[in-house]
Amino acid sequence: MLSSSEELTQSTNEVVVGAEQVAATMQELATGSEAQANYTSKFSEHMQNFAKTIEDSSKESDKIYQTSNGVYSLTKNGRSMMSNSVLQMKSIDSIVKNSVLGVKELDVKSREISKLVGVIETVAEQTNLLALNAAIEAARVGEQGKGFAVVADEIRQLAEQVSVSVVDITRIVNNIQSESSKVAIELETGYEEVEKDTIQIQQTGETFNKISSSVESMGNAIKDISNRLADNKSTTANMNTNIEEIAGLSEQSAAGIEQTSATAQQTTSTMQEVSSSSEELAKLAEKLSKLVERFKI
């Protein structure tokens, strides 16, 4: 009986030691599980914030895309207007160029008129001189030359009138040449400016085309980013749901482990009581054994 009590005490002590180890392990698991649950909960909060950020970014990218579309429409209209301006400037350039050529042609014609007027003036002077000589000769012949003298005088008067007209024509032609030269210079200057403006407008149009292409590319890139953010938003939502489920399971696991740890601690306490009772029983068995030895013959 004493041997059995000792074996029971030893076994009970071993069970107590094992139970204490189990309780300690379960306590560590409970602590780790609780920490994991807290971490998972915080991570879930971070994922919710991240999902909110993704959603806000998606909305902002949509706004930016709409704005870029508006800018693209404006640049497209601007490009169309610049194309029309280029056509108009080319038309103006052609008109001014033709005007310059016309004024130069007018200057050439006026110089030709000046030459003709010079010829007419020379002829008038010679005619006037001939009429004067004819009048002198008619005066010499007396009565017979009176008729010829009258004709010669009329020719002289006509020649003088032609000379006066030639002077007026020369003055007018000179004025025309002077004004046409000024107009030609101004038109040439204007033509040069128009050419410069035409080149500048063409360059501006090319710049508009580049801007339009860049804005279009930027809009497509923003749209692609917006689509990706939308996809990430869906993926993040699914991840957040899974993390929330994991957090819930972690909390349940932590609660179960804590409950198991408490049970293990209770078991350890009970086994300690059993061990104490076993030791008392062993002591009683030893006393009983000694008493029995007294009664042996």
DSSP-derived secondary structure for 56-112: HHHHHHHHHHHHHHHHHHHHHHHHHHHHHHHHHHHHHHHHHHHHHHHHHHHHHHHHH
Residue 174: strand, helix, or coil: helix
Distance of alpha carbon 25 from alpha carbon 264, whole angstroms? 10
CB-hemisphere CA count at 13 Å for 243? 20
State how many domains the chain has.
Answer: 1
Tally Cβ neighbours within 10 Å of residue 24.
14
Strand, helix or coil at 1?
coil
**How many helices and strands in the chain, by DSSP H and E?**
2, 0
pTM here is 0.45
pLDDT confidence of residue 36? 67
CA distance 30 to 102: 104
- Cα–Cα–Cα angle for 237, 46, 222, rounded to 5 degrees: 55
* Cα of 196 vs its chain's centroid, Å: 30
Residue 261, C-beta contacts closer than 8 angstroms, at least 6 positions apart: 23, 26, 27, 29, 30
Distance CA 60, CA 67 (A): 10
Domain that holds residue 140: 2-294
- Contacts of residue 226, defined as CB under 8 A and 6 or more positions apart, other chains included, come to 58, 61, 62, 65
Question: For the residues 114-133, what does the mean pLDDT come to?
Answer: 80
**Residue at token pair 């061990």:** 275
Tens-digit pLDDT profile for residues 258-275: 676 666 667 667 666 766
Calpha distance 118→158 (Å, rounded): 17
Per-residue pLDDT reduced to its tens digit, 193-206:
877 877 877 787 78
What the block records as the tokens of 75 is: 């640049």
Q: Would you state the structure tokens that stand for residue 283, as one six-digit string?
A: 């002591």
Assigned token pair, 167: 């002077």
What value does the mean pLDDT take over residues 75-79? 75
Integer angstrom CA distances of residue 206 from 88, 91, 118, 247: 16, 19, 55, 59
Q: Are 58 and 222 a contacting pair, CB within 8 Å?
A: no
pLDDT in tens, 134-148: 778 777 777 766 776
* Per-residue model confidence (pLDDT) at position 18: 63
Q: Over 50: is that where the pLDDT of 2 sits?
A: no
Token pair of 208 as six digits: 């508009």
Helix crossing, 146-294 with 2-141: angle to 10°?
A: 180
Domain containing residue 202: CATH number: 1.10.287.950
pLDDT digits (tens, 9 = 90+) for 4-50: 555 655 665 666 666 667 666 666 666 766 666 676 677 767 777 77
What mean pLDDT, rounded, does the chain reach? Answer: 73
pLDDT tens, position by position, 165-189: 878 888 888 888 787 778 778 777 8
pLDDT in tens, 79-94: 777 778 778 877 877 8
Instruction: List the structure tokens of 219.
Output: 């809009």
Distance, CA of 282 to CA of 279 (rounded, Å):
5
Of 98 and 257, the structure prediction assigns the larger pLDDT to 98
For residues 230 and 3, what is the distance between their CA atoms, to the nearest angstrom?
A: 77
* Predicted local distance difference test score (pLDDT) of residue 274: 65
Among 16-20, 214-218, 283-287, the range of highest mean pLDDT? 214-218
